[in-house]
Structure 1
Amino acid sequence: MSSQSQTTNKRKPIRVWVDGCFDMMHYGHANALRQAKAMGDYLVVGVHSDVEIEKHKGPTVMKEEERYAAVAACKWADLVVPNAPYITSLQVMNQYDCDFCVHGDDTTTTADGSDCYQAVKDAGRYRECKRTQGISTTELVGRMLLMTRDHHKRRSSIASVNNEDLSTFSSSPSQQNKSEIKISHFLPTSRRIVQFSEGREPNPGDKVVYVDGAFDLFHVGHVEFLKRSKNFGDYLLVGVHDDQTVNAIKGANNPLMNLHERVLSVLACRYVDEVIIGAPYSVDENVLSKVYKVDVVAHGNTDSLPDLDGKDPYEIPKARGIYTEIMNPSADLTTEKIIHRIIEHRQRYEERQARKNEKSKIEDLNNNE
């Protein structure tokens, strides 16, 4: 063995610390973890508690246990530290033997305006990664407050809400002042898809499992379903329906996130091996044999809506005896319920949005000086 190889083998693994709220864990969070992991060998992710976030930032959408589980499901996270301090602590970083901390190129402050990362910056143990443009928890909450299709339809379209529970929200202050909430437009690139994709094909003899869905506002209900699906085989292939299909089947404002946003969220999940982008709603011969030979088709223990022709979308796999249903203890958490959390407490979230907008204006002014 060469001396260079011996030196490489003896190198201490670089341990990286990242912390945050990770509320409504999205592909922007995942991209930050991906970049941080690329700077080292082992990624430790600290997640703040609900109490800490409420104190410094405002109410969370997802509960802390849901946020812990969502981060743990990200394929770039090696260890999750619950109840991490909101002000990044050298003591905690040392406790987990982390060499440095990574954060996006935006400023995070406490309730009194102090920089949460000043201590690690002063110690020379701070690195920055590039923030993913066009996505944030604040932006997603803004979409729900507006109940808009603007993120995947023409810029001028504001969707009407057909669901009775959501229609009462159409005249809220947020809807009337919709210009105050910024809706970004995600511009997908092939490079981003490649960054998120493992690119691994099934090995000879691998049992291929197929599942499909909208996977809108990717959450722990989806994570648990994918985890249990993967247990039925060796390779998990996930079909993500396109925007037009989801809207035609589910109606109202669905989906809230566009196809490529939803694909990136699914690809970031550690249980997923490959994704069919824009998969057909009904599982047909193309799905079962044209990508890989599918051995098992799985679906959650909830009713599936019929296709536009009225047929069962799982008719073919059922006829072939390769269909199975999965009992999901997290099935009661749905995209609709997350939206309802916002609507039920809309005043609190409107106040949070107003604070975030004011902070954004100040940051824009400082950047332009």
Structure 2
Amino acid sequence: MLQARRLGKALVVGIHSDQAILENKGPTVMSLDERVAAVDACRWATQSVPHAPYVTYLPWVSHYGCKYVVHGDDITSDSDGNDCYRFVKAAGRFKVVKRTPGISTTDLVGRMLLCTKNHFVKSVRKTLAGEEGSGSPEERKAFAEDLLQRIQDYATDESGLQRGPQVWTWLGSGEAKIDNKVGEAGSFESLVEGKGPKPGQRIVYVDGGFDLFSSGHIEFLRKVTELEEAEGRRRGWYEPEQREKRLQEFNEDYAPAYIVAGIHDDGVINHWKGLNYPIMNIFERGLCVLQCRYINAVVFSAPFTPSQPYLEAMPLGTPDVVYHGPTTFIPLTYDPYSDPKKMGIFQEVDQHAFQHVNAGEIVGRILKSREAYEARQRAKLEKAIAEDLVKAQEQGSSA
């Protein structure tokens, strides 16, 4: 979606129905509503279109004012084995982008079913320095450079071309990241120098694992944005004279809040959830959060308990407010938000429509329908072989 957005001034994202996916690919993991929420939350998406046809037709594309259709460099076929984009390709209205390296739905399902842990990252800093990971020193260095570039790419604005969110990693002890009795200021190391807060914006802090970044996380972040908009109205933020003042001084209007999201290390999440959680490692989870339109900055390796020393040492100063939702997935014997409450800056986000959707819920869906998903994976493998043949034929005919 980032690559597609960079090709034009707007990005319309078609989303297939559950039924269309079932008929052409197999059972879905997320419902249509959940997938629409994910697209709507993507900073680079201009508009989502639910119930888009599985085979892309020219009248449909033209109806939404789109000149081109963009897809990765893999062939996608329908239930009959035909290329889903054959009509737009024939019309010369198809653009190909390199498929973004990383994980796929297939990879994630595999991790869930096999309960593997080899995707875990021990140290963000060491991985980005090429000191941790598999392969030779040269391979680790190359991987680290690619990973940092991807973080920088995701930390862009709505156009995908200009600076966007700021990114830091928190350097604190392992004890401070897990133990609620150890409060450390630590230090913050900048990874990406994005856009900082503007005058009048409240600094908001949220944190979490954000594993399998889903509609539950998205709706929580959207609710935080909504609450801050309400607070902005109370402060007169949207009064015409205030808006005009911002336009004159900065040539643009902006939101009343600057939202910073802290993301916990893999080891921290595994300490509390056990099994092979998190299903996604910290870089995968961080990229998911980075692309979300409801955040302005990200802190990798944030402590599980946001202590007063940590909050007061944050690069933008002590937050004006710390939000969190009711946590049901992790049974805790203590309150990790006791310090923000003592500081008078804590606010809980109420229950919402996607409250039940978290990593545990998604893993449960997969395990409940294990046979169906394994059959889907086998069918996908068979389709992939056929699609590779089509791709080879296309490349041969264009050579």
Q: Establish whether TM, by shorter chain, passes 0.5.
A: yes
Which region of structure 1 is more displaced relative to structure 2, 54-63 or 358-367? 358-367
Superposed, 1:114-125 pairs within 5 Å as 114-125=82-93
Give the match for residue 356 of structure 1. Answer: 380
The equivalences for 1:165-244 within 5 A come to: 189-197=147-155, 198=164, 199-233=194-228, 234-244=257-267
Contact 1:142–1:353 (8 Å) recurs in 2: no
Does residue 78 (structure 1) correspond to residue 46 (structure 2)? The answer is yes
The secondary structure found in structure 2 opposite 1:107 is: coil
Distance 1:357 1:150, change over 3 A: farther
Question: Which residue identity lines up with residue 356 of structure 1 in the other structure?
Answer: K
What TM-score, normalized to structure 1? 0.78
Amino acid at match of 2:222: K
Is the Cα contact below 8 Å between 1:232 and 1:296 reproduced in 2?
no
Provide, for residues 336-364 of structure 1, a one-character-per-residue CA deviation record: whole Å limited to 9, x for no partner: 01101011111100000111223334556
CA distance, structure 2, for counterparts of residue 101 and residue 191 of structure 1: 26
Distance 1:124 1:58, change over 3 A: same
- Does the 8 Å CA contact 1:209/1:232 hold for their aligned counterparts? no
SS in 2 for 1:113: coil
Whether the 8 Å CA contact 1:211–1:297 is kept in 2: the answer is yes
Q: Distance in 1 between matches of 2:387 and 2:14?
A: 25
Q: Deviations along 1:190-245, whole A, 9 cap, x unmatched? A: 11111111122111231011010000000011001011112344011000001011
- Match 1:291 to one of 304, 315, 324: 315
Pair 325,153 (structure 1): closer, same or farther in 2 beyond 3 Å: closer
Counterparts of 1:356 and 1:303, CA distance in 2: 35
| Distance in 1 (alpha carbons) for counterparts of 2:78 and 2:24 | 5
Equivalent AA in structure 1 for residue 275 of structure 2: A
- 1:260-303 CA deviation, whole Å, 9 max, x = no partner? 00000001111010000110111022234422221100110235
Could you tell me how far apart the structure 1 residues matched to 2:381 and 2:312 are?
A: 47
TM-score by length of 2: 0.72
Partners of 1:218 and 1:265 within 8 A in 2 = yes
The amino acid of 2:316's aligned partner reads Y
What is the DSSP-based 3-state SS (H/G/I as helix, E as strand, rest coil) of the residue aligned with 2:95?
strand
Query: Does the 8 Å contact 1:43/1:79 carry over to 2?
Result: yes
Amino acid paired to 1:290? M
Gaps in structure 1 of 5+ consecutive residues: 1-32, 155-185
Match of 2:291 among 252, 268, 277: 268
User: Quick one: which amino acid aligns to residue 192 of structure 1?
Assistant: R
Asked if the contact 1:88/1:119 (under 8 Å) is kept, the reply is: yes
Are the counterparts in 1 of residues 115 and 275 from structure 2 also a CA contact under 8 Å?
no
Deviations 1:50-102 (A, max 9, x none): 11111111110101111111111111111111100000110111111111110
Does structure 2 retain, via aligned residues, the 8 Å contact 1:306–1:313? no
Letter in 2 for 1:138: T
Return the letter of the residue paired with 2:154: F
State the structure with bigger RCO (CA 8 A, min sep 6), 1 or 2.
Answer: 2
Aligned equivalents of 1:252, 1:273: Cα separation in 2: 32
Instruction: Identify the residue that residue 103 of structure 1 maps to in structure 2.
Output: 71
Question: Residues 305 and 142 of structure 1: is their aligned pair in 2 closer, same or farther, counting only changes over 3 Å?
Answer: closer
What is the aligned partner in structure 2 of residue 37 from structure 1? 5
| Aligned twin of 1:137 | 105
Q: What is the Cα deviation at residue 253 of structure 1?
A: 1.2
Q: Partners in 2 of 1:54 and 1:134 — Cα distance?
A: 24
Q: Please say if residues 286 and 300 of structure 2, whose CA atoms lie closer than 8 Å, have aligned partners that are also in contact.
A: yes
C-alpha contact (below 8 Å) 1:209/1:230 kept by paired residues: no
- CA shift, 1:153, in A, is 6.7
| Counterpart in the other structure of 1:18 | none
State which of 282, 292, 296 in structure 2 corresponds to 1:259: 282
Shift of the alpha carbon at 1:150?
A: 2.2
What is the aligned partner in structure 2 of residue 342 from structure 1? 366
Structure 2: 5+ residue runs without aligned partners? 123-142, 156-163, 165-193, 229-256
- On the 8 A contact 2:77/2:387 being kept in 1, the answer is no
